Structure 1
Amino acid sequence: MNAINITSTEILSDSWYTLKKISFEITANDGTKSTQEREAYDRGNGATILLYNRSNKTVVLTRQFRMPTFINGNETGYLIESCAGLLDKDNAEDCIKKETEEETGFRIDKVQKVFEAYMSPGSVTEIVYFFTAEYTNEMKVHEGGGLIEENEHIEVLELPFGKAIDMITTGEIKDGKTIMLLQHALINKLMG
């Protein structure tokens, strides 16, 4: 492994989240050293969940506007996604239970952690914790939609599992975390 020595860190932006420019010296295995610079966007860590109903063979997803996709060619700016949120000061399990209720209206007690992943390690520090949980209609405590004070306008979607899988192929679902969770459900036969 190469030895890394951070020589300086400069904050380029601290508005929505923090963008830093990091200068570092890297020593290769043969002993040669080079100086490099990278920018890293720190938005904190997150959690995401796939809610599934085994007997109905359905999943609950959300649809919301995402500005970065809009400026990168997503005509409407809306993405279909698995429920997710930033950890803030919560642990991943507490965070995803809270986000699930806020965004989807389902109150869940039991979640299963399936893995964790860096989603864009070349530029973003975030690690995302992935969960699944079974849901029933009895767990619905309100309509969901997110928090008004956080300017969230989230549409809750309950879709047949097979249709959700097909939506990956058609390009209707393009969100990486959602694709990973749907494929996890398919590979591990969560629908039976």
Structure 2
Amino acid sequence: MFFYGTLCHLPLLELVLAGEHYCTRPAMLPGHRVSWVKDQPFPTIEPDPSASAIGLLVEELGDTARARLDFYEGGFDYALKKVAVHPDGTAAPVTAQVYFPAPGLWTPGGPWSLDDWIAQWGEMTLEAAGEVMSYFGKISAQVVAERFPMIRTRAASRVRARASTTPTTVRADFGAGDIDVHASARPYAQFFTMEEQDLSFRRYSGEMSEVVNRAAFVGGDAVIVLPYDPIRDRVMLVEQFRMGPHIRGDPLPWTLEPIAGRIDAGETPESSARREAHEEAGLALDRLIALPHHYPSPGSNTEYFYTYIALCDLPDTAAGIGGAADEVEDIRSHVIPFARLMELVNSGEAACGPLVLCALWLALNRDGFRAGS
């Protein structure tokens, strides 16, 4: 097989093949050009008589190895075709198979760079591939493709978590080396997942605990944004139906909240905040002020919230109906005076933790914003 894109990254190839035997050598496919897919973190290949695709020839693959490769690539509308590639230092061409995308599936962008991809996307892709390949032999490649956006979102969250530099001035300086994982499972996986582990952890006495079974709901990192107009002293809230209150049995499962949403793979929290404000409320944000970022429910939930007050213009016409149609969102926005927000917090009508946090933080700091407006 000949690979021209991300599977030329040997750590990814090794993860997909999981110890199956194979041999590799550099090779070239004449008459083809490899380009970034426009607005996507992977390449595409297309015929071009004036170009050559540089890549990796992978040989001596067994049936299981091929099945694993087909599973990894198979849900994304690729088809195998035979081509003649030229290994480095060898005049004679070698017949190999290549995964070609369906015609017209992707729009080519600029020239592909494996090094640039590794620098920007390599770590996240390895995380995502680990989850993808854990489903090998359990679900179809097509189902994996449907779930892949959230798989990447979870992977990006784990990468951000590993890069955390929060201090340990009061809490114990315990880390991953103070946890022994004996077994792990994923008993539920759809849009969200549930992960379960048998583990022991370091006690404050210095000893390890007995082995216990623990589980966590796995979402993705999210942004929380409360828009505030310091000139008019107004905020914007959004309202929508929510599954959490509904499943709990709340008779009024439509909640008042800040603007919020998942941070897509490849986004920064700040760019996600601006995107979500535009999608949910058609709002353009000015300055973003970071509040304490936090875990809302660390006992059972992996979600991590990047929380902001956003200074912006909120005229009477800013309120309305919005949301992403492809996500079946139906979101109503409200523009209200700050004093009315605090009434909602005190009455319990604003029964959303991130909204309460934003409101209380703004109550402490809004005089400064108003003085500078």
Q: TM-score of the superposition, structure 2-length normalised?
A: 0.49
Letter in 2 for 1:7: H
CA distance, structure 2, for counterparts of residue 116 and residue 178 of structure 1: 13
Hey, what does 1:72 align to over in structure 2?
248
Matched, 1:17 2:192: yes
Contact 1:97 1:109 in 2 (8 A): no
What is the TM-score when the length of structure 1 is the normalising length? 0.92
Contact 1:9 1:20 in 2 (8 A): yes
1:41 CA displacement: 1.0
Deviations 1:62-115 (Å, cap 9, x if unpaired)? 000011102223212100000000002111000000000111111124312122
Q: Contact conserved, 1:5 with 1:24, CA < 8 A, in 2?
A: yes
Higher Cα Rg: structure 1 or 2?
Answer: 2
Corresponding residue of 1:44: 220
How many pairs were matched up?
A: 191
Letter in 2 for 1:110: R
> What CA deviation, in whole Å up to 9, does each residue of 1:121-157 have, x standing for no partner?
011111100111111147x889551101001000011
Q: How does 1:1-192 map to 2 (within 5 A)?
A: 1=172, 3-28=178-203, 29-89=205-265, 90-137=267-314, 143=320, 145-190=322-367, 192=370
Relative contact order higher in (CA < 8 Å, ≥ 6 apart): 1
Is the 8 Å Cα contact of residues 320 and 332 (structure 2) preserved in structure 1? no
User: What SS does structure 1 have at the residue aligned with 2:271?
Assistant: helix
Instruction: Measure the CA separation in 1 of the matches of 2:333 and 2:293.
Output: 24
Gaps of 5+ in 1: none
2: distance between equivalents of 1:116 and 1:32? 30
The offset of 1:6, in angstroms, is 1.3
Confirm or deny: 8 A CA contact 2:220 2:263 kept in the other structure.
Answer: yes
Classify the secondary structure of the residue corresponding to 2:179: strand
Tell me, in whole angstroms, the C-alpha distance in 1 between the residues paired with 2:346 and 2:319.
Answer: 32
* Deviation of 1:27 (Å): 3.4
Which stretch of structure 1 is more off in the superposition, 77-86 or 105-114? 105-114
Quick one: structure 1 residues 50 and 141, their matched pair in 2 at CA, closer, same or farther if it must change by over 3 Å? Answer: closer
Q: Percent identity?
A: 24
1:57–1:141: structure 2 CA closer, same or farther, 3 Å change rule?
closer
